Amino acid sequence: MTIVTPGSAEQAGRTAYLDVVVLHPRDAEAATAGGADRVLLSSEPEDGHYSPDPAAVSAVLRETDLPVYPVLRTHDDDFARLVDLGARYVELGARGLAYGFLDRDLEVDREECTEMYAELTVPWLFHGFDTALDADRAWRDVADLPGLEAVISAGSTRGLTHGADELITRSARDPRVARLVLAGGGLTPEVVPWLVRAGVRRFAIGSTARSGHSWTRASVDEDHVRSWRMLVDDALSRALGLPAD
């Protein structure tokens, strides 16, 4: 369920979005039933998330009508290989991708990000952003990248447990950042209202959508996703002063 006030379905800031990281079709089915807005498809989540096999993308796409955004990242990050893989995902039906490039100085590689978008021409999420050395500069550098839909960020390479305060402060100070933030990486219920009050409207859950928060021992749980759906919607209702549904 998304929150939309009468006559303002397109109005920015009045809708909360929930992404769920999935690994296989069962995950996608549960995420869809639980009320997710989009699924982010990856492999090797405990090692930082890498590109799934095209067969996995195809299987997930058959299981959900939600937008599917596969991660575009390989262990060698060969650009030509990434382009071919991304093109295959798009050909299969992926509506967007999650990728991101930093240069050798750990600054946003605007040229490579722009080139990847020019090759694939689908909306994308910046994945790997928090490893940038200078966060202030990194946020300036991503502000006008073509095709960029959101920046996956926890405010710290150690996750939202350590980076929530930074992300909240930065989002509250700069509405442009708040509009781009997709808050993910150890998201906990208690930080959601604070992020919403700071202007953040996009949230991603991964292990917390699973029983025991385990990537390897449990699939996405429909009820867990539904609880998160209710949480983000309720936090937005309260922030906007709207009556509860």
Which domains are present in the chain?
17-240 (3.20.20.380)
* Structure tokens belonging to residue 221: 């749980």
Query: Quick one: pLDDT at residue 244?
Result: 57
Query: Quick one: pLDDT at residue 216?
Result: 86
Query: Quick one: pLDDT at residue 13?
Result: 78
Query: Quick one: pLDDT at residue 12?
Result: 53
Contact 40, 69 (CB under 8 A): yes
Residue 32, SS3 per DSSP: helix
Query: Quick one: pLDDT at residue 242?
Result: 72
Rounded-to-integer distance, Cα 147 and Cα 149, Å: 6
What residue type is assigned to position 237 of the chain? Answer: S
Q: Where are the beta strands (DSSP E) in the chain?
A: 17-22, 38-41, 68-70, 97-99, 124-126, 148-153, 181-183, 202-205
Query: Quick one: pLDDT at residue 224?
Result: 97
Query: Quick one: pLDDT at residue 183?
Result: 98
Query: Quick one: pLDDT at residue 193?
Result: 97
Q: What is the pLDDT along the chain (245 residues), one digit of tens a residue?
A: 333 333 333 345 789 999 999 999 999 999 999 999 999 999 999 999 999 999 999 999 999 999 999 999 999 989 999 999 999 999 999 999 999 999 999 999 999 999 999 999 999 999 999 999 999 999 999 999 999 999 999 999 999 999 999 999 999 999 999 999 999 999 999 999 999 999 999 999 999 999 999 998 999 999 999 999 999 999 999 999 876 55
Reported pTM: 0.92
Query: Quick one: pLDDT at residue 243?
Result: 66
Positive or negative CA dihedral for 138, 139, 140, 146?
positive
Contact 199, 171 (CB under 8 A): yes
Query: Quick one: pLDDT at residue 206?
Result: 96
* Structure tokens belonging to residue 205: 């859950």
Half-sphere exposure of 128 (CA within 13 A, CB side): 22
Rounded-to-integer distance, Cα 5 and Cα 147, Å: 27
Rounded-to-integer distance, Cα 148 and Cα 114, Å: 9
Q: Calculate Rg over the CA atoms of the chain.
A: 17
Rounded-to-integer distance, Cα 2 and Cα 202, Å: 12
